A and B are shown apart, each in its own frame.
Chain A
Amino acid sequence: MKTLTKSSLRKTATASLPKWKLRLYVADNTSKSVAAFRNLKQLCEAHLAGRYQIEVIDLLKNPQLAQGDQILAVPAVVRKLPAPIRKIIGTLADTERVLVGLDLQPNEANAFDPRQSL
């Protein structure tokens, strides 16, 4: 398990903005896994710069963790925070659907809770 924490996160984050905690489940270091991680990171940088956390879990190394988030398909992203939990599967190539799936408003300038802004 490796945890990516952007050093910039602490600097730019303000107390009013909700913190995003994402978990990326992959199985082995395959091209799909790499693509999913790349896509997720890009997306977060674009829309959640400074207030996100991505945890990558390789199920081959930690198979017991698959049960907790009910993971069947990989790659899969689970939005742990903000609640509620949301799940999307695939390499995250379709940015539009990822945004819908994570319930993330593009260019979240006003930084309100995403649900309220719907």
Chain B
Amino acid sequence: MNTKKKTLSLALSRNFLFLLGLISMLAFACNDGPKNEKQKTNPADIVVDGKMLAELTSPPFVPAPVGNRSAKHLVVEMEILEEEGTMTDGVQYMYWTFGGTVPGSFIRARVGDEIEFHLRNHPDNKLPHNIDLHAVNGPGGGATSSFIAPGREAVFHFKVLAPGLYVYHCATAPVGMHIANGMYGLILVEPEGGYPPVDKEFYVMQGDFYTKGEYGEPGLQPFDMKKAIKEDADYVVFNGAVGALTGDNALNVNVGETVRLFVGNGGPNLSSSFHAIGEIFDKVHMEGADLINTNVQTTMIPAGGAAIVEFYVDVPGEIILVDHAIFRAFNKGALAMINVAGEPNKTIYSGKVEEGIYLPEGGGIQEMPRSPEEIEKAKPAEFLSKAQRIDMGKNVYMQTCFACHQAEGQGIPDVFPPLANSDYLNADVNRAIDAVLFGLSGEITVNGKKYNSVMTAQTVTDREAANVLTYIYNNWGNKGVEVTEEMVQSRRKK
């Protein structure tokens, strides 16, 4: 009996000890957690396997993803070219470039790559240059080792240790001037295995430019150091020029695709409030680094920094990339376009414009600028010929009326009535003057079609009203009336 008890208690105690042991083992196993992380390879220790010539691409395209390739001895051959280019219509600028483009060629590598960097300064260039890549761990980011005269080549090696999207730029004195003239680009270091695949990838880089002349002043514009120091930019553009990514140069994607943009900001001065009109960024690799934010409307990209944004495209139309410091977008050129083709999705976006009040930009709400010359002009003293009237009237039309009634007075069907060959207009001049001065609402019939919209009263002087009406009456098949200031004044008094 006692033996049985003893055996039982022994068995129990054994079990107990066993359980105790198990529990303590588990506890210690948990403590092993941090140790396991340390066992991951230090990027400096990644072994390279084979040599490879880097495929450099011109913006807006990027080289193929690294995928699963191992770290390689990567040879990069980058040429510096000083050459003239077009900033916008009629405006030329002397760009200093990496690879002949602004931004410079896109370099794509993966963590652990050992890069053999050849920097070549074309013999026709006037100035020495160098390169500072933010992906480099080393003095000057490579600048100390790559300072070269025209007609020469410098070679240095560096191992990329951290994944991310990095800016590179020239760092020769005066550094601001070299960067301001376009010497910047991006180098992508993908993590092992690369980023998850997407359907389309593009390269976009913002920069600010400083010219002696104002925005749009024609000719070869030299760089203006004073403006650059004051940070008073004339042009803020994507990819080196106004319209570099609009019109025929717009990017093209399809509904249902995932798009990734590698976005940089070369500066030299301005940070970017990067936003896509019509889209939300599903993912933003903030500052081109590891942290990923989701569902972002506008992301901050510092000068000398970058970001990777990804979004899934739901509906067709135009996605417009802007710097949301909005005057830069609409007045200095910080605007790029992505055309989306494909089937509409009415639930997500119906795409129908309801009729109703539409206040276009450039309408009566806008104040007409009042320079001293214009105030002089507005004085009724001098005599104007009919031809002069029509000319001045055209300017008024293009600033004020064109947004709704369009360039040839054709209007927009069902929305804004035409002024071209308009029976409504030609029937009653006074009524036309009243429409300009006091506005017009309610249903009207023009050339057989009904319109029921609102025309706002226009804030114009008597002279401007007279001139614009004379212009309208003397174009597009209208009856050729000359509207005088006296006629306008008399209607105003009523």
Pairing of A with B: no
Q: Which residues of A contact B (CB under 8 A)?
A: none
Q: Which residues of B contact A (CB under 8 A)?
A: none
